[in-house]
Amino acid sequence: MKTRISKAMATRLIETGIALTSINNLDELLEFIVHEARGLTKADAGSLYIVNGSNLDFLVCQNDTLTRKVGADAERGLFTVYSIPVSKQSLAGYAALTGEALNFPDVYNLPPDAPFSFNKEFDRRNGYRTMSMLNVPMKAPDGAIVGVLQLINSLDHNGEIMPFEDDMVAVVQALASQAAVAVKNAKLTAALMDAHLDTIFRLAVAAEYRDQDTARHIQRISEYTKIIAKSMGLPGRDVILIGHASPMHDVGKLGVPDSILLKPGKLTPEERVEMEKHTVFGGKILAGSESEILRLSESIALTHHEKWDGSGYPYGIKGGSIPIAGRIVAIADVFDALSSPRCYKPAFPMDKVLAILEHDTGIHFDPDVSKVFFGNLDEIQEIHRRMKESG
């Protein structure tokens, strides 16, 4: 099989393998795989199915003819995500089940004894004619089938549909193997990232366990801070980071005794001092991590009670000396506390909440952050409504 790959194809596959491997985003990777496979085989269209338990999820569909006809945006609308079983009844299912490649010059004329049939539904709906088709399983080095690469309508120099050349099967198989490993790796990375984010969220939820605050409060803070950060023009990466880091702003409350944390009335000056230590405790719990998210959450825990005029705690720093993330969480946290019910107070009416925030702009809050907050008030209030405490 391997000897059927030409030297030019082989050197191109080396490049492709390197390119594949450097894409970490799964969606981007899947699109790239189909794009490369179509380039190698001059295929008018191509799809990608990923094995999900005993099903194949249809995830990528590229079709030059339809794109020309209806435009790229409209074309994307033609395809819906769907699943088919891994079984001998479909071409892709057969390839996934048996690990064999299937190459047919015209899928409207399949061998009469073939166990699979071609579903003409898509063609009928979109006025397309699928003719030649190559289905290649994506096989990882351990033999596991990760998905199926489906190439449609190989085109000759005149743009006429021709069968996929037999020599190309080995080339696409090699590409599909490279793709299989790349997909496995991208999934592994995504799962690890999910596990990391999940644990961070639990750390935040655990901290709120002793308080009247709820998991909802944490989620709202995450949403509010992302809106503000994005609208302030922070880079996309920083917007995502603050969304993950801001829920941990009160993690240091774990270090505050119940007698103070849960006291119904006003705190004495001595108790206030103890309560305010939650910022420093939070900083300690989160200190010194290699994780970017935890490093940002350390900074937020330490600075979300600082005030623009320098009258905040724990350090009394002011203005631009307060990290931007701390300034953003400050207004989001106060807005959420005032507008939500607590066991010791009802939710304030919205006009009163906004009047307080407005009054404290330039005193407690950074005027620029405050401006952006009010500029996005509709979206922020929508989140407030949508993610209310379940009464």
Q: Which residues bind its own copies (CB under 8 A)?
A: 2-3, 5-7, 10-11, 13-14, 17-19, 21-22, 24, 140-142, 174, 177-178, 181-182, 184-185, 188-189, 191-196, 198-200, 202-203, 205-207, 209-210, 251, 254-255, 257-259, 281, 285-286, 289-291, 293-294
Cβ at position 190, least distance to its own copies in Å: 10
Q: Which is closer to its own copies, CB of 14 or CB of 350? A: 14
Q: Which is closer to its own copies, CB of 133 or CB of 180? A: 180
Going from the C-alpha of 85 to that of each of 51, 55, 88, 90, 358, the distances in angstroms are: 9, 4, 9, 8, 58
Nearest-angstrom CA–CA distance, 47 and 321? 52
Q: Which is closer to its own copies, CB of 141 or CB of 236? A: 141
Q: Which is closer to its own copies, CB of 66 or CB of 207? A: 207
- Of residues 256, 160, 161, the one with CA closest to residue 208: 256
Q: Which is closer to its own copies, CB of 3 or CB of 390? A: 3
Residue given tokens 């189909």 in the structure block: 34
Q: What does the CA dihedral 256, 262, 266, 271 come to, rounded to 10 degrees?
A: -20
Helix (H, G, I), strand (E, B) or coil at 80: coil
Cβ at position 178, least distance to its own copies in Å: 6
Strands 43-52 and 55-63: antiparallel
Cβ at position 353, least distance to its own copies in Å: 30
Cβ at position 30, least distance to its own copies in Å: 16
Cβ at position 142, least distance to its own copies in Å: 8
Q: Which is closer to its own copies, CB of 72 or CB of 188? A: 188
Buried b / exposed e over 211-244, threshold 16 CB at 10 Å, is bebebebbbbbbbbbbbbbbbbebeeebbebbbb
Nearest-angstrom CA–CA distance, 212 and 5? 66
Q: Which is closer to its own copies, CB of 61 or CB of 168? A: 168
Cβ at position 17, least distance to its own copies in Å: 4
Q: How many residues does the chain have?
A: 391
Cβ at position 173, least distance to its own copies in Å: 10
Q: Name the amino acid, one letter, at 8.
A: A
